[in-house]
Structures are given as C-alpha cells and as structure tokens.
Amino acid sequence: MKNQPTSWQNTPESIDGYIGFTYLIVNKITNQKYIGKKFFWFTNRIKIEGRKNRKKVVTESDWRTYESSDDEVKSDIAKFRKENFDFIILNCYKNKRSLTFAETELQFKRDVLTKKLPNGLYEYYNKNISGRYFRTVL
C-alpha cells in the first residue's frame, strides 16, 4: 500500500547531518535484488514577493514510504506484496558526491548488469548504472 511506512532495516537513529543513503531491496520470492540511492531531503526554491532571489526550503523526503524508482521492482512489489521484500539501508552519506560514488561503486562491484541467478533471471533488477552503462542484450 502506498504511503505506508516501508520497513527499512538499519535505519539511523537520526537523519540529521546525512543527505541520503544507499540501499538494497531483496525480493524474497525470486531472490532478485535492486541497489539504489535515496535522499533524505527535498530542496525547493520558492519565490518570495519583494525578493530578487528565491528562498531555499529543505523538507524531509518521502524516504520513509519509498519503495523504488524502478518500474519492474514496483510491479513485483504490487504482485508479491511488500512483506515479501527486504528493504535494507546499506550506508548513510553526508554529501551528494559520496552518495553517488558509493551507489555506482556498489553496482559495479556486485556486477548488477550481468550477474544471473541459476534459473536464468538477472540477479539484479538494475538495467543501468548512472544512466551511462546499460545491460547488453545478447
């Protein structure tokens, strides 16, 4: 169900000082996984009457109810139900650069684009890394 808190494992006691986290989603039925990143905060700039520049407003993101940005993962969550997935926070990061690097490093080290399960399915739902490296179709 949407907007219900996701049961994130390894949730930090406080998100203050952190910009976001890397995560692993595991489908306990098919054993497929997804590695991604999520920001704890949304930053918006709003127009203020009488001011030339916009005011920066930081609010907490939807990370507590977030499931995935990947359509296949979202489809499988709807199909198999949320309780058949593990949502694991791998690490928290204090700046955007470290977070993006860590996500990319994890995806390359775990071979998310080519690794397969014994049944022939790809082990990871990830179809690209940073929108630059894509799964090849053989």
Q: What are the tens digits of pLDDT across the range 59-118?
A: 999 999 999 999 999 999 999 999 999 999 999 999 999 999 999 999 999 999 999 999
In a domain, 130, yes or no: no
**With bands split at pLDDT 50, 70 and 90, how would you rate the model's confidence at 3?**
low
Section 7-31 average pLDDT: 97
In a domain, 37, yes or no: yes
Strands annotated E in the chain: 8-9, 20-27, 33-39, 41-46, 55-60, 85-93, 128-129, 133-134
Q: What does the angle CA 20 – CA 25 – CA 28 come to, to the nearest 5 degrees?
A: 160
In a domain, 21, yes or no: yes
94/20 Cα distance (integer angstroms): 7
Section 16-37 average pLDDT: 98
What pLDDT is stored for residue 1 in this prediction?
46
In a domain, 62, yes or no: yes
b or e along 84-104 (b: 16 or more beta carbons within 10 Å of the residue's beta carbon)? ebebbbbbbbeeeeebeebbb
What pLDDT is stored for residue 137 in this prediction?
62
Q: Which domain holds residue 56?
A: 8-110
In a domain, 58, yes or no: yes
Question: 55 or 92: whose pLDDT is higher?
Answer: 92
Q: Is residue 22 over pLDDT 70?
A: yes
Q: pTM for the full model? A: 0.89
What pLDDT is stored for residue 131 in this prediction?
85
Q: What does the angle CA 107 – CA 110 – CA 115 come to, to the nearest 5 degrees?
A: 110
In a domain, 95, yes or no: yes
In a domain, 120, yes or no: no
In a domain, 24, yes or no: yes
If one counts the domains in the chain, the total is: 1
What pLDDT is stored for residue 47 in this prediction?
85
